[in-house]
Amino acid sequence: MKTKAAVLYEMGSARPYSTSRPFVIGELTLPDPASGEVLVEIAAAGLCHSDLSVVDGSRPRAMPMVLGHEASGIVREVGPNVNKLRPGDHVVFSWIPVCGRCSYCAAGRGSMCEPGVQANIDGTLLNGARRFTDSNSRSCSHHLGVSGFSNFTIAVQESLVKIDEDFPLDRAALFGCAVVTGVGAVVNTANVKAGNSVAIFGMGGVGLSAVMGARAIGAYPIIAVDLVDQKLALAKEVGASHTINATSEDPVDAIKQLTSGGAEYVFESVGSEKALMQAYAATRRGGTTVTIGLPAPDKMFSISALSIVAEERTIKGSYMGSAVPSRDIPRFIQMYQAGILPVDKLHTHTLKLEDINEGFDRLADAQAVRQVISYT
Ligand SMILES: [Zn+2]
Ligand SMILES: [Zn+2]
Protein backbone atom coordinates (compact mmCIF):
# COMPACT_ATOMS: atom_id res chain seq x y z
CA MET A 1 0.00 0.00 0.00
CA LYS A 2 0.96 3.68 -0.29
CA THR A 3 1.40 6.08 2.60
CA LYS A 4 2.18 9.76 2.87
CA ALA A 5 5.29 10.33 4.99
CA ALA A 6 7.90 12.92 5.96
CA VAL A 7 11.30 11.41 5.16
CA LEU A 8 14.62 12.68 6.52
CA TYR A 9 17.28 12.05 3.85
CA GLU A 10 20.15 14.01 5.44
CA MET A 11 21.18 15.08 8.92
CA GLY A 12 22.71 18.44 9.81
CA SER A 13 20.72 20.72 7.47
CA ALA A 14 21.14 24.45 8.01
CA ARG A 15 18.60 26.41 9.98
CA PRO A 16 15.97 27.58 9.46
CA TYR A 17 14.40 24.25 8.47
CA SER A 18 11.53 26.16 6.88
CA THR A 19 14.10 27.08 4.19
CA SER A 20 16.42 24.04 4.07
CA ARG A 21 13.45 21.63 4.39
CA PRO A 22 15.22 18.50 5.72
CA PHE A 23 11.92 16.61 5.79
CA VAL A 24 10.64 15.69 2.35
CA ILE A 25 6.95 14.90 2.12
CA GLY A 26 6.41 12.01 -0.26
CA GLU A 27 4.66 8.76 -0.95
CA LEU A 28 6.21 5.56 0.42
CA THR A 29 5.26 1.94 -0.20
CA LEU A 30 4.53 -0.52 2.58
CA PRO A 31 4.07 -4.28 2.08
CA ASP A 32 1.45 -6.37 3.86
CA PRO A 33 2.42 -6.98 7.47
CA ALA A 34 4.60 -10.10 7.83
CA SER A 35 4.66 -12.53 10.74
CA GLY A 36 4.38 -10.69 14.06
CA GLU A 37 3.86 -7.34 12.32
CA VAL A 38 0.98 -4.90 12.49
CA LEU A 39 -0.14 -2.18 10.07
CA VAL A 40 -1.12 0.90 12.08
CA GLU A 41 -2.87 4.02 10.83
CA ILE A 42 -1.21 6.82 12.80
CA ALA A 43 -3.67 9.23 14.40
CA ALA A 44 -1.24 11.59 16.12
CA ALA A 45 2.52 11.97 16.47
CA GLY A 46 4.43 14.36 18.73
CA LEU A 47 7.60 16.27 17.83
CA CYS A 48 10.20 15.40 20.47
CA HIS A 49 13.68 16.74 21.16
CA SER A 50 15.14 13.31 20.37
CA ASP A 51 13.78 13.65 16.81
CA LEU A 52 15.50 17.05 16.60
CA SER A 53 18.78 15.44 17.75
CA VAL A 54 18.63 13.24 14.66
CA VAL A 55 17.68 16.15 12.38
CA ASP A 56 20.59 18.31 13.61
CA GLY A 57 23.00 15.36 13.52
CA SER A 58 23.87 15.24 17.23
CA ARG A 59 22.39 11.74 17.48
CA PRO A 60 23.29 10.08 14.18
CA ARG A 61 20.98 7.43 12.71
CA ALA A 62 20.83 5.42 9.48
CA MET A 63 19.50 7.60 6.64
CA PRO A 64 17.04 7.92 5.03
CA MET A 65 14.71 7.52 7.97
CA VAL A 66 11.04 8.01 8.78
CA LEU A 67 11.30 9.73 12.18
CA GLY A 68 8.70 10.14 14.91
CA HIS A 69 8.72 7.98 18.03
CA GLU A 70 5.83 9.40 20.08
CA ALA A 71 2.63 8.25 18.43
CA SER A 72 -0.82 6.71 18.69
CA GLY A 73 -2.98 5.02 16.12
CA ILE A 74 -5.46 2.36 15.10
CA VAL A 75 -4.54 -1.18 14.06
CA ARG A 76 -5.73 -1.72 10.48
CA GLU A 77 -4.23 -5.11 9.61
CA VAL A 78 -2.30 -7.81 11.44
CA GLY A 79 0.17 -10.30 10.01
CA PRO A 80 0.34 -14.00 10.89
CA ASN A 81 1.23 -14.89 14.50
CA VAL A 82 -0.01 -11.63 15.97
CA ASN A 83 -1.82 -12.73 19.08
CA LYS A 84 -2.08 -9.56 21.16
CA LEU A 85 -3.87 -7.22 18.75
CA ARG A 86 -6.76 -7.12 16.29
CA PRO A 87 -7.83 -4.68 13.57
CA GLY A 88 -9.64 -1.75 15.18
CA ASP A 89 -7.57 -1.79 18.38
CA HIS A 90 -6.29 1.59 19.55
CA VAL A 91 -2.60 1.65 20.42
CA VAL A 92 0.19 3.81 21.81
CA PHE A 93 3.72 3.05 20.58
CA SER A 94 6.51 2.14 22.94
CA TRP A 95 9.75 3.50 21.43
CA ILE A 96 11.66 0.56 22.78
CA PRO A 97 10.26 -2.74 21.54
CA VAL A 98 10.02 -5.09 24.51
CA CYS A 99 10.91 -8.57 23.31
CA GLY A 100 9.74 -10.30 26.48
CA ARG A 101 12.45 -12.96 26.25
CA CYS A 102 15.87 -11.37 26.95
CA SER A 103 17.41 -11.27 30.43
CA TYR A 104 16.38 -7.63 30.95
CA CYS A 105 12.76 -8.29 29.96
CA ALA A 106 12.75 -11.35 32.23
CA ALA A 107 13.90 -9.11 35.09
CA GLY A 108 11.06 -6.64 34.44
CA ARG A 109 13.34 -4.04 32.83
CA GLY A 110 11.66 -3.66 29.45
CA SER A 111 13.29 -0.28 28.73
CA MET A 112 16.68 -2.06 28.69
CA CYS A 113 15.51 -4.79 26.25
CA GLU A 114 18.70 -5.92 24.53
CA PRO A 115 17.41 -6.87 21.05
CA GLY A 116 15.00 -3.91 21.24
CA VAL A 117 17.78 -1.39 21.80
CA GLN A 118 19.92 -3.04 19.09
CA ALA A 119 17.10 -2.83 16.52
CA ASN A 120 16.71 0.85 17.41
CA ILE A 121 20.41 1.49 16.77
CA ASP A 122 20.16 -0.38 13.45
CA GLY A 123 17.05 1.54 12.36
CA THR A 124 15.05 -1.65 11.86
CA LEU A 125 12.03 -3.28 13.43
CA LEU A 126 12.70 -5.79 16.22
CA ASN A 127 12.70 -8.56 13.61
CA GLY A 128 15.49 -6.83 11.65
CA ALA A 129 13.23 -5.70 8.78
CA ARG A 130 12.88 -2.36 7.00
CA ARG A 131 9.44 -1.96 5.45
CA PHE A 132 9.35 1.54 3.91
CA THR A 133 10.42 2.04 0.28
CA ASP A 134 10.48 5.45 -1.42
CA SER A 135 9.60 6.28 -5.04
CA ASN A 136 13.25 5.68 -6.08
CA SER A 137 13.13 2.16 -4.57
CA ARG A 138 15.29 3.26 -1.65
CA SER A 139 14.65 1.49 1.61
CA CYS A 140 13.98 3.87 4.53
CA SER A 141 14.93 3.13 8.13
CA HIS A 142 12.45 2.97 10.98
CA HIS A 143 12.83 5.30 13.95
CA LEU A 144 12.80 3.36 17.22
CA GLY A 145 10.31 0.90 15.75
CA VAL A 146 7.64 3.62 15.46
CA SER A 147 8.04 6.05 12.50
CA GLY A 148 5.09 8.22 13.42
CA PHE A 149 5.77 10.82 10.74
CA SER A 150 3.97 8.59 8.26
CA ASN A 151 0.22 8.26 7.89
CA PHE A 152 0.59 4.46 8.03
CA THR A 153 3.41 2.43 9.54
CA ILE A 154 4.35 -1.17 10.15
CA ALA A 155 5.42 -2.12 13.66
CA VAL A 156 6.00 -5.38 15.50
CA GLN A 157 3.44 -6.21 18.17
CA GLU A 158 6.17 -5.79 20.83
CA SER A 159 6.24 -2.03 20.01
CA LEU A 160 2.53 -1.53 20.71
CA VAL A 161 0.44 -1.06 23.85
CA LYS A 162 -3.33 -1.39 23.55
CA ILE A 163 -5.41 1.38 25.13
CA ASP A 164 -9.14 1.97 25.62
CA GLU A 165 -10.99 2.97 22.46
CA ASP A 166 -12.76 5.88 24.12
CA PHE A 167 -9.49 7.60 25.04
CA PRO A 168 -8.67 10.52 22.66
CA LEU A 169 -5.81 9.47 20.36
CA ASP A 170 -4.22 12.94 20.10
CA ARG A 171 -3.83 12.95 23.87
CA ALA A 172 -2.71 9.31 23.93
CA ALA A 173 0.36 9.95 21.76
CA LEU A 174 2.04 12.03 24.48
CA PHE A 175 2.04 9.04 26.85
CA GLY A 176 4.42 7.19 24.52
CA CYS A 177 7.42 9.43 25.14
CA ALA A 178 7.06 12.64 27.19
CA VAL A 179 4.81 11.23 29.91
CA VAL A 180 6.25 7.75 30.25
CA THR A 181 9.80 9.16 30.30
CA GLY A 182 9.20 12.03 32.73
CA VAL A 183 6.70 10.46 35.12
CA GLY A 184 8.57 7.14 34.91
CA ALA A 185 11.85 8.79 35.95
CA VAL A 186 10.18 9.99 39.16
CA VAL A 187 8.08 6.97 40.09
CA ASN A 188 10.18 4.13 38.62
CA THR A 189 13.84 5.16 38.37
CA ALA A 190 14.04 7.37 41.46
CA ASN A 191 11.07 6.00 43.39
CA VAL A 192 10.47 9.40 45.00
CA LYS A 193 8.29 9.33 48.12
CA ALA A 194 5.77 11.82 49.48
CA GLY A 195 7.55 14.72 51.18
CA ASN A 196 10.87 14.21 49.36
CA SER A 197 12.45 17.38 47.98
CA VAL A 198 12.78 17.42 44.20
CA ALA A 199 14.44 19.73 41.67
CA ILE A 200 14.13 19.32 37.90
CA PHE A 201 16.34 20.95 35.25
CA GLY A 202 14.78 21.52 31.81
CA MET A 203 11.07 22.20 31.26
CA GLY A 204 10.50 20.48 27.92
CA GLY A 205 7.80 17.82 27.58
CA VAL A 206 9.81 15.34 29.65
CA GLY A 207 10.81 17.76 32.43
CA LEU A 208 7.24 19.05 32.76
CA SER A 209 6.02 15.44 32.95
CA ALA A 210 8.54 14.83 35.73
CA VAL A 211 7.07 17.83 37.58
CA MET A 212 3.59 16.29 37.18
CA GLY A 213 4.84 12.94 38.45
CA ALA A 214 6.51 14.54 41.46
CA ARG A 215 3.33 16.45 42.26
CA ALA A 216 1.19 13.32 41.82
CA ILE A 217 3.13 11.40 44.44
CA GLY A 218 3.26 14.31 46.89
CA ALA A 219 6.87 15.46 46.68
CA TYR A 220 7.68 18.85 48.25
CA PRO A 221 9.19 21.21 47.35
CA ILE A 222 9.19 20.73 43.57
CA ILE A 223 11.68 23.19 42.07
CA ALA A 224 11.65 23.74 38.31
CA VAL A 225 14.71 25.17 36.50
CA ASP A 226 14.74 26.53 32.94
CA LEU A 227 16.00 29.49 30.91
CA VAL A 228 12.57 30.53 29.56
CA ASP A 229 10.02 32.29 31.80
CA GLN A 230 7.09 30.98 29.75
CA LYS A 231 8.12 27.39 30.43
CA LEU A 232 8.58 28.12 34.12
CA ALA A 233 5.06 29.55 34.22
CA LEU A 234 3.83 26.29 32.69
CA ALA A 235 5.83 24.35 35.29
CA LYS A 236 3.90 26.17 38.02
CA GLU A 237 0.62 25.29 36.33
CA VAL A 238 1.47 21.57 36.33
CA GLY A 239 2.68 21.40 39.91
CA ALA A 240 6.03 23.10 40.58
CA SER A 241 6.12 24.85 43.96
CA HIS A 242 9.12 27.04 43.04
CA THR A 243 10.76 28.12 39.79
CA ILE A 244 14.28 29.28 39.00
CA ASN A 245 15.33 31.05 35.81
CA ALA A 246 18.97 30.02 35.41
CA THR A 247 19.74 33.08 33.27
CA SER A 248 19.08 35.41 36.20
CA GLU A 249 20.21 33.36 39.24
CA ASP A 250 22.58 30.49 39.97
CA PRO A 251 20.30 27.43 40.08
CA VAL A 252 22.63 25.49 42.42
CA ASP A 253 22.69 28.22 45.07
CA ALA A 254 18.95 28.81 44.71
CA ILE A 255 18.08 25.10 45.11
CA LYS A 256 20.41 24.76 48.12
CA GLN A 257 18.73 27.74 49.74
CA LEU A 258 15.22 26.43 49.16
CA THR A 259 16.07 22.95 50.47
CA SER A 260 18.58 23.71 53.27
CA GLY A 261 21.58 22.29 51.45
CA GLY A 262 20.29 20.52 48.34
CA ALA A 263 17.31 18.52 47.08
CA GLU A 264 17.03 14.80 47.86
CA TYR A 265 16.30 14.05 44.20
CA VAL A 266 17.51 16.18 41.32
CA PHE A 267 16.53 15.38 37.73
CA GLU A 268 18.34 16.62 34.64
CA SER A 269 16.27 16.58 31.45
CA VAL A 270 18.25 19.15 29.44
CA GLY A 271 20.65 16.77 27.73
CA SER A 272 23.77 18.83 28.52
CA GLU A 273 26.70 17.75 30.68
CA LYS A 274 26.79 21.25 32.20
CA ALA A 275 23.21 20.90 33.44
CA LEU A 276 24.08 17.43 34.77
CA MET A 277 26.99 18.86 36.78
CA GLN A 278 24.69 21.56 38.15
CA ALA A 279 22.10 18.90 39.01
CA TYR A 280 24.77 16.90 40.86
CA ALA A 281 25.93 19.98 42.76
CA ALA A 282 22.33 20.81 43.71
CA THR A 283 21.74 17.31 45.14
CA ARG A 284 21.93 16.94 48.92
CA ARG A 285 24.52 14.68 50.57
CA GLY A 286 23.07 11.18 50.53
CA GLY A 287 20.78 12.16 47.67
CA THR A 288 20.16 10.92 44.15
CA THR A 289 20.86 12.66 40.84
CA VAL A 290 18.84 11.27 37.94
CA THR A 291 19.77 12.01 34.34
CA ILE A 292 17.07 11.75 31.67
CA GLY A 293 18.45 14.04 28.92
CA LEU A 294 20.59 12.77 26.05
CA PRO A 295 23.86 14.70 25.68
CA ALA A 296 25.89 14.30 22.47
CA PRO A 297 27.82 10.98 22.57
CA ASP A 298 31.26 12.64 22.91
CA LYS A 299 30.38 14.66 26.04
CA MET A 300 31.99 13.72 29.37
CA PHE A 301 30.71 14.34 32.88
CA SER A 302 33.25 15.25 35.58
CA ILE A 303 32.66 15.13 39.35
CA SER A 304 34.70 14.65 42.51
CA ALA A 305 35.24 10.89 42.82
CA LEU A 306 35.48 11.20 46.60
CA SER A 307 32.06 12.84 46.85
CA ILE A 308 30.29 9.64 45.78
CA VAL A 309 31.72 7.75 48.79
CA ALA A 310 32.05 10.43 51.44
CA GLU A 311 28.63 11.92 50.65
CA GLU A 312 26.91 8.61 49.83
CA ARG A 313 25.64 9.91 46.54
CA THR A 314 23.77 8.04 43.83
CA ILE A 315 23.74 8.90 40.13
CA LYS A 316 21.10 7.10 38.08
CA GLY A 317 20.36 7.06 34.39
CA SER A 318 16.71 6.85 33.37
CA TYR A 319 15.93 5.56 29.88
CA MET A 320 12.27 5.77 28.84
CA GLY A 321 11.43 6.24 32.52
CA SER A 322 12.69 2.74 33.43
CA ALA A 323 9.26 1.78 32.14
CA VAL A 324 7.50 -1.46 31.56
CA PRO A 325 5.40 0.07 28.76
CA SER A 326 2.47 -2.36 28.97
CA ARG A 327 2.18 -1.62 32.70
CA ASP A 328 3.05 2.10 32.79
CA ILE A 329 1.33 3.61 29.74
CA PRO A 330 -2.14 2.37 30.81
CA ARG A 331 -1.60 3.35 34.45
CA PHE A 332 -0.38 6.85 33.58
CA ILE A 333 -3.43 7.23 31.31
CA GLN A 334 -5.61 6.25 34.28
CA MET A 335 -3.87 8.86 36.44
CA TYR A 336 -4.55 11.46 33.73
CA GLN A 337 -8.21 10.43 33.58
CA ALA A 338 -8.44 10.78 37.35
CA GLY A 339 -7.15 14.36 37.06
CA ILE A 340 -3.78 13.62 38.69
CA LEU A 341 -1.55 14.26 35.65
CA PRO A 342 -2.47 17.48 33.73
CA VAL A 343 -1.00 16.23 30.42
CA ASP A 344 -3.23 18.59 28.36
CA LYS A 345 -0.90 21.43 29.32
CA LEU A 346 1.95 19.88 27.31
CA HIS A 347 0.07 20.08 24.02
CA THR A 348 0.87 23.54 22.66
CA HIS A 349 0.43 23.15 18.87
CA THR A 350 -1.40 20.93 16.40
CA LEU A 351 0.22 20.57 12.97
CA LYS A 352 -0.35 18.98 9.59
CA LEU A 353 2.41 16.67 8.35
CA GLU A 354 3.25 19.28 5.70
CA ASP A 355 4.16 21.78 8.44
CA ILE A 356 6.79 19.52 10.01
CA ASN A 357 9.84 21.61 8.98
CA GLU A 358 8.34 24.73 10.54
CA GLY A 359 7.49 22.66 13.62
CA PHE A 360 11.13 21.66 14.10
CA ASP A 361 12.18 25.32 13.87
CA ARG A 362 9.72 26.08 16.66
CA LEU A 363 11.11 23.21 18.74
CA ALA A 364 14.73 24.24 18.15
CA ASP A 365 13.85 27.82 19.16
CA ALA A 366 12.19 26.55 22.39
CA GLN A 367 8.88 28.11 21.34
CA ALA A 368 6.83 24.97 21.85
CA VAL A 369 6.42 22.15 24.35
CA ARG A 370 4.58 19.43 22.46
CA GLN A 371 3.51 19.94 18.89
CA VAL A 372 1.33 17.11 17.69
CA ILE A 373 0.87 16.15 14.06
CA SER A 374 -2.75 15.17 13.52
CA TYR A 375 -3.67 12.92 10.59
CA THR A 376 -7.41 13.12 11.18
ZN1 LIG B 1 10.90 11.44 22.73
ZN1 LIG C 1 13.92 -8.00 25.76
Rounded distance between C-alpha atoms, residue 92 and residue 110, angstroms:
16
CA 70 – ligand 1 centroid, Å: 6
Judged by its nearest atom, the ligand closest to the C-alpha of residue 108 is 2
Rounded distance between C-alpha atoms, residue 253 and residue 331, angstroms:
36
User: Of 44-48, 147-151, 293-297, 343-347, where does mean pLDDT reach its minimum?
Assistant: 293-297
For 62-189, list the strands marked E by DSSP: 65-66, 71-78, 90-93, 132-133, 139-142, 152-156, 160-163
Q: Is the pLDDT of residue 226 over 90?
A: yes
Q: Is the pLDDT of residue 83 over 90?
A: yes
- Judge whether 356 and 13 are in contact, CB under 8 Å: no
pLDDT in the model for residue 6: 98
Judged by its nearest atom, the ligand closest to the C-alpha of residue 100 is 2
Mean of pLDDT values over 250-279: 97
Model confidence pLDDT, tens digit, residues 202-224: 999 999 999 999 999 999 999 99
**Neighbouring residues of 48: CB distance < 8 A, sequence distance ≥ 6:** 69, 70, 177, 178, 205, 370
Mean of pLDDT values over 335-360: 97
CA 169 – ligand 1 centroid, Å: 17
CA 123 – ligand 2 centroid, Å: 17
Task: Give me the helix-helix angle, 229-237 and 205-216, nearest 10°.
Answer: 30
Mean of pLDDT values over 277-287: 98
Rounded distance between C-alpha atoms, residue 179 and residue 157, angstroms:
21
Rounded distance between C-alpha atoms, residue 159 and residue 145, angstroms:
7
Ion ligand 1: residues, Cβ under 5 Å: 48, 50, 177
CA 34 – ligand 2 centroid, Å: 20
pLDDT in the model for residue 192: 98
Mean of pLDDT values over 335-354: 97
CA 21 – ligand 2 centroid, Å: 37
Q: Is the pLDDT of residue 154 over 90?
A: yes
Rounded distance between C-alpha atoms, residue 214 and residue 192, angstroms:
7
pLDDT in the model for residue 276: 96
CA 285 – ligand 1 centroid, Å: 31
Rounded distance between C-alpha atoms, residue 140 and residue 9, angstroms:
9
Question: Please, which pLDDT band fits residue 295 given cuts at 50, 70 and 90?
Answer: confident
> Which residues are registered as beta bridge partners of 283?
263
Judged by its nearest atom, the ligand closest to the C-alpha of residue 102 is 2
Q: Percent of the chain beyond pLDDT 70? A: 100
Question: Please, which pLDDT band fits residue 296 given cuts at 50, 70 and 90?
Answer: confident
Mean of pLDDT values over 127-144: 98
pLDDT in the model for residue 269: 97
Q: Is the pLDDT of residue 179 over 90?
A: yes
Mean of pLDDT values over 177-200: 98
* DSSP code string of 208-243: HHHHHHHHHTT-S-EEEEES-HHHHHHHHHTT-SEE
pLDDT in the model for residue 376: 81
Model confidence pLDDT, tens digit, residues 10-55: 999 999 999 999 999 999 999 999 999 999 999 999 999 999 999 9
**Neighbouring residues of 146: CB distance < 8 A, sequence distance ≥ 6:** 68, 69, 70, 71, 93, 95, 153, 155, 159, 176
Rounded distance between C-alpha atoms, residue 260 and residue 277, angstroms:
19
Rounded distance between C-alpha atoms, residue 163 and residue 274, angstroms:
38
CA 129 – ligand 1 centroid, Å: 22
Rounded distance between C-alpha atoms, residue 125 and residue 327, angstroms:
22
Q: What is this structure's pTM?
A: 0.96
CB-neighbour burial class of residue 27 (10 A; exposed 0-12, middle 13-18, buried 19+):
exposed
Judged by its nearest atom, the ligand closest to the C-alpha of residue 50 is 1
Rounded distance between C-alpha atoms, residue 316 and residue 9, angstroms:
35
